[in-house]
Amino acid sequence: MSSTFHGQLTVSIFGQSHGSAIGVTIDGLPPGEAVDLEALQDFLNRRAPGGNAWSTSRKEEDAPEILSGLLEGYTCGAPLTAIIRNKNTRSGDYANLKDLPRPGHADYTAQIKYGGFQDSAGGGHFSGRLTAPLCIAGGICMQVLARRGITIGAHIAAIGGIPDEPFDPVHLTREDLLAPGYKPFPVRSDAQGEAMQARIAQVKAEGDSVGGLIQCAVLGLPPGLGDPMLDGLENRIARLVFAIPAVKGIEFGAGFAAAGMRGSENNDPFCLEDGQVRTATNHAGGILGGISNGMPLLFQAAVKPTPSIAQRQRSVSLSRREEAGLEIQGRHDPCIVPRAVPCVEAAAALAVCDAFLEQEVRRVL
């Protein structure tokens, strides 16, 4: 337990930020699935930091090497393992994190849990860098799902309180869903996106960081996927989305807003559209009783501001048992929300692919 998801798919993620390599093993993919490595690389590039305003300038070349499970471009039924070599393996500038933990990071809790044996360089196994293998696994699942007519997309729903336009919960089209992902700054409204980028620039200039919201949708899901109680789509997606280090909240459909609504408002009336059963509204986010109802699946994740900031902060020296000031050296990423967008898509893809595979078992018998 810890870094393994165990369902129809077993997904095992490994590596530390500054170790030799990070990677992932996916066991349970059906054989004969084409994996387009170029498309996968494009997807991974969406989470890689670039030379732009809202990310660190550390250049990660996240080119995965497939060690197993793929033969001449097709899954072969054996576990698929992919790794990414770490270029940045020096750990000098992280030496004191075991003594003087950074606020908002896992330095302190890792120190307690692993008794000083943890790899603290760059956050070790807790680093946001570990979302790269998550994206490899999710990116492959997205290709598997796409061939079955299921599309996943996300956009920045807000940064520092500046909102983007939300997806239309009822009439969302595939084009609308995919559009943000093609942009360097994945928003729906470019005007709002510019305001967000201005906010990021300002925050960066102040040596600070800022959080945001990500909205994700799944289109083309047949009704009947997911299970009641512990393996509903909400349970599975939540479990995987919280694997992204900075996520602190998740809501499906109307979510927290539903808490203030009445049943007569929140209930989605059933209706017929071209002979298909649909709902007139979609406060349920496409999920009833943990199971897809054929409407767009919609959820939103809250991403906290990056804890690494340039400003001086208060901490405690664990060895000296005294309070002490802390300044984190190096360049900081003032906002990871844009890069977290594909990570949220990847987490959703893994959860949906898992539920899809399980549903198939039950159906065929």
Burial bucket for residue 3 (CB in 10 Å: 0-12, 13-18, 19+): middle
Measured CA to CA, the distance from residue 157 to residue 187 in angstroms comes to 7
CB of 362 to its own copies, least distance (A): 5
329 binds its own copies (CB under 8 A): no
Residue 289: CB partners within 8 Å, gap ≥ 6?
A: 228, 232
- Chain positions 194 to 223 lying near its own copies, rule: CB under 8 A, are 203, 208-213, 223
**Which of residues 190 and 206 has its CB atom nearest to its own copies in the complex?**
206
How far, CA to CA in Å, does 200 sit from each of 189, 203, 209, 337? Answer: 16, 5, 7, 10
**Which of residues 27 and 168 has its CB atom nearest to its own copies in the complex?**
27
- Chain positions 284 to 323 lying near its own copies, rule: CB under 8 A, are 284-285, 288-294, 302-309, 311, 313-316, 318, 321-323
- SS3 state at 335: coil
- Chain positions 69 to 98 lying near its own copies, rule: CB under 8 A, are 69, 71, 74-81, 83
357 binds its own copies (CB under 8 A): yes
235 binds its own copies (CB under 8 A): yes
Measured CA to CA, the distance from residue 269 to residue 276 in angstroms comes to 14
14 binds its own copies (CB under 8 A): yes
Q: Give the distance from CA 88 to its chain's centroid.
A: 23
**Which of residues 175 and 264 has its CB atom nearest to its own copies in the complex?**
264
**Which of residues 182 and 223 has its CB atom nearest to its own copies in the complex?**
223
**Which of residues 67 and 191 has its CB atom nearest to its own copies in the complex?**
67
Among positions 169, 252, 282, 340, the unique one binding its own copies when judged by CB under 8 A: 252
- Chain positions 110 to 129 lying near its own copies, rule: CB under 8 A, are 110, 112-119, 124-126
Measured CA to CA, the distance from residue 313 to residue 300 in angstroms comes to 30
- SS3 state at 178: helix
